[in-house]
Amino acid sequence: MGVVFDNTINLGHIITALAFIVGSVGAFWALKGRLLVIETLNTVQVKTIDSIQVEIKELRKVVQEQARFDVELATLKRDLYDLKTGRGFIVDRPPILRDP
């Protein structure tokens, strides 16, 4: 009992082969189109991420400047309080050293 192959080719075989080829080309074409869309979206996202990184760097500078301003403001408040309470730079001279 050996294996026997039919050597005749009929219309069904040809249609099946053509359908397989057309389907394969169609699937490849569709995947190629989707791949192009994905690459385009990826490029747009990379540009968006780059612009976000630039904005983050600018915001970091703003936050640092604000922190410096807060420190300066706290220092000025403390100096003003010291001046109001007499513990600051203006010190009353003892009576002996006062001008007549």
In tens, the pLDDT along 71-84 reads 899 888 888 887 77
Half-sphere exposure of 40 (CA within 13 A, CB side): 6
Cα distance between the two ends of the chain: 139
Residue 7, pLDDT above cutoff 90: no
Mean pLDDT over all residues of the chain? 85
Q: Tell if the pTM clears 0.75, that is, is over it.
A: no
The residue ranking higher by pLDDT, 97 or 36, is: 36
Question: Is the Cα torsion angle 41, 42, 45, 46 positive or negative in sign?
Answer: negative
pLDDT at 83: 77
